[in-house]
Structure 1
Amino acid sequence: MEFQTDIFEGVEPPSSSKYNLIGTKLPTSQDVYFVSKWHELFERYEMARIFLRKTEEENWDYWFNKVDDEVAQKGIELMFKSQMLETALINYNILVDLTWTMTYVSAEYVLYKFDNEGNVTNADEIIGMHSIEKSLDMLRKTENGVSTPHAEGNPFQYLKVMRPEFSDAIDLIVEFWKEFSESKIRNIYNYIKHKGTPCYKEIEALGDTRFFNLIIGKESYPTDIRDVRKVLSIDELIDELRKFDDEKLYPYITGLIEKLKVAVDPSPMII
């Protein structure tokens, strides 16, 4: 499978850094948080593409023992193919969710405390460098504050006021989510996550195991579990994911990273 975009060009975090110790700022906890989530984002993107590419697997010998029946063999291959496809789908959706966390963490929103007049009262606690133990605790607290861009009470607009340098990144997240939240890719992910397992046309086409049909009057009634399962196409979903990656996701991820790099301006000491 060929992608039109290269995540090693636009998404991969730096693996090395050169800088002059004189005049280079020391890393803050915020810098570490941002770069940490950047690495997580890239790793998730890698896995999504690896599993999507695996749907084109041709050598199945190391996955399972070959069977003599050609129809059965094809069915097993398609079953593995569908599982790889679903794994890619899940990774793509987790990747999108991570972009919100990455932005929250970068802005350190949930770490702020305010007085009755709305003034920040703990700026000295959250700015600068902290011990590893405190940094771990602060990052876990920050992650707990993440919500979807459309959730009631989400702090995106308020965060833009408090941290205007993150406005461009937040606008990008909200705009992307408007379309993605109603997309087929998100809907199928939510179905698999919360409701059930779909069946696939390509597998069902190999043979019909239905014992009988039940028709009363002009109405057909379910006599097989496939009558009530959600039906998808493996090939169609693979093609849709690949196009989504190249045309929608990649521009979104690379654009967000660039905007967050400007807002955070992380120390080159952190890679």
Structure 2
Amino acid sequence: MVDNNGILPVLDVERVSRDISNFIESSLIESNAQGLVIGLSGGLDSATTAKLCAQVVNTDKILGLILPSQSTNQEDVDDAVSLAEEIGIKYKIIPIDPLIEPVQDICSRSETNENYKLAGANLKARMRMIILYYHANALNRLVVGTGNRTELLIGYFTKYGDGGVDILPIGELYKTDVRRVAKYLGVSDSILYKAPTAGLWQGQTDEDDLGIKYELLDEILYLTTEKEMEEDELALKLNIKLDEVIRVKAMMRRAEHKTRMPLMPSIIR
């Protein structure tokens, strides 16, 4: 079954939701962990993941951590709190700026250097990872990641930041798929239709960073990875410029190191 544009298959969202929830439950059992810790951003991915967790894990065994910085919209914090209260999980709000500022003060930095801007954004993601694992270690729980297949394929996450997790329940779902599952699970419209953002700086949105809409990006990725379509054929099918396809494939190549173990030399003994 395909959607109206004939590109991405339409998921059986009921079955997929059940399969993902079962995966979460089995991961918990196999690890002998006592529960889950998840970062709640107020966005689509974390809301969907949290709802999937709550389908199979007692809500008193799920801790949601809301970790805002000065660049986080208050709307996102409010949506994260509303979600946690709706599904009945415990939550904490921990502002991360007091933890980030000492690191930046100690390290040499230049506010005019774009590399330092990116380093600062990645520092936020890595600080959140530290806080998530602090609570997970203290409570003997798993850290639940909220990354989706789209982000994983193009490397749109911070290595050892939001990429540092124990399980990735929606890691096989394209962003388009996540929205479909979210609708099925009853995620609120305030979250469902807001512009995706990592909240890394004021006014930041994912699609502005990527320079492409998620719907088109998902189609390119699907036809590239699952249909193994050649670049020119793909561009023709989607009626887009070949350069756009080449750019996305270059993003995929640059991202490969993020999803594998660190490289080691081969030693002959």
TM-score by structure 1 length? Answer: 0.22
Which of structures 1 and 2 has the bigger CA Rg?
1
TM-score by structure 2 length? Answer: 0.22
Q: Hey, which of these two has a bigger chunk of helix by percent?
A: 1
